[in-house]
Structures are given as structure tokens and as C-alpha cells.
Structure 1
């Protein structure tokens, strides 16, 4: 087996494990996530581009990553004065919808010449 084939197989197995454990929600709805993102827009922007310097940009970020971080804030595994309060009342479905919304935003980058 070539290194390329091994890498592809490894990625497939990782994705399959996320799906099997429910780490990626089935039926995440970006449109519902957009509605929920209204509460996020002050810091992260409805478009996912942060409005304050201490907040990260979320536009185009991986759904898996956003879900993991929101669940960590909700459980207390990760702590932030604002995010811990915001995330504690989110359901798994709401977290998945928010993550799907921010992942669905397409961003582009232009390299300087």
C-alpha cells in the first residue's frame, strides 16, 4: 500500500469514527444556524468575521472544530467568560446548526504580490 493510499484510508477511518460516535450531527441545518448566529454577531459577526480583536473568525471554519469547541465550553472543559455562558444552554442540534452555518460561509484569501 502506498503512502498516499494509507493517508487516504486514515482520513476515511477518522471521518467514519466521527460519524459513528455522533461527533458530526446528522441533519445539521445551516439556515437554523444562521438564525442562532444572531446571538454571536456582536463578537464573531453574522458573516463569521470577528468584530472584536479577542474573538476568532469563524467563517469557513470546520464544522467538526466548531462543534468540538462549543461542546467544550458547554461542559466546562474549556472556559471563557463569555463563551461559557453562551454555550451552556445550547443543545447538540443548535451547536451542529451553528457549526454548519459558519462552515458554509465561503472565504477567499488573496496573497500579496
Structure 2
């Protein structure tokens, strides 16, 4: 039982950084470039662009990382995501996740 507890504790400690939230205030400052397509409040007026407000933070971060790496292909989003740092992605994800 003690080994299982240690193993679970180690797993939680190793994966905790993956779930660490970003800084929403910094994300808001960075989100100006997103507003043209996704709306100033994360609600798009154009049906082809998804709403970002209220999406789960981990989902948003994964999508941005996938656009950046090329795992998800999109000719508009790829160049937008390429210059983003991991902190930028975390911060943008926290900002949009916190919007209603």
C-alpha cells in the first residue's frame, strides 16, 4: 500500500505542471490579436470562427499547442500560434476560459 501511495504521489507531482493555470491578466493583454476573429469578449460575430469564451483551459492550451506544432493544420491559426511561448499559451487559455 505504501508503494502505491508513493507512486500516485509521484505521478501527481510530475503531471501538476501540465495543469498549472496561466495568468488571465497577462492573457487579456495578449488577446488583442485574437479579437479580430474571435471577438473582444471571446464571442465571435463570424460563424466560421469559434467562440473561445468559457472553453476549458486545458482544451484551449492543447489546441494552441497543436496549431503551433503543426499537429493541427489551419492556414490562419498556424502563423498566429507559432510565435506564442508556453507562457503565452497558458495565459491566453486562462483568460478565455475565465470569460462567460
Q: Which residue of 2 is the match for residue 95 of structure 1?
A: 89
TM-score (norm 2): 0.81
Q: Distance in 1 between matches of 2:21 and 2:63?
A: 19
Q: Which runs of 5+ in 2 are unaligned?
A: 1-7
TM-score (norm 1): 0.73
**Kept after mapping to 2: 8 A contact 1:42/1:51:** no
Q: Aligned pair 1:86/2:83, yes or no?
A: no
Q: Which runs of 5+ in 1 are unaligned?
A: 1-12, 107-113
Q: Distance in 1 between matches of 2:91 and 2:41?
A: 15
Q: What RMSD in Å do the two structures reach over aligned CA positions?
A: 1.9
Q: What are the equivalent positions in structure 2 for 1:30-109 lying under 5 Å apart?
A: 30-106=24-100
Q: Distance in 2 between matches of 1:27 and 1:101?
A: 10
Q: Structure 1 residue 27: deviation in Å?
A: 5.2
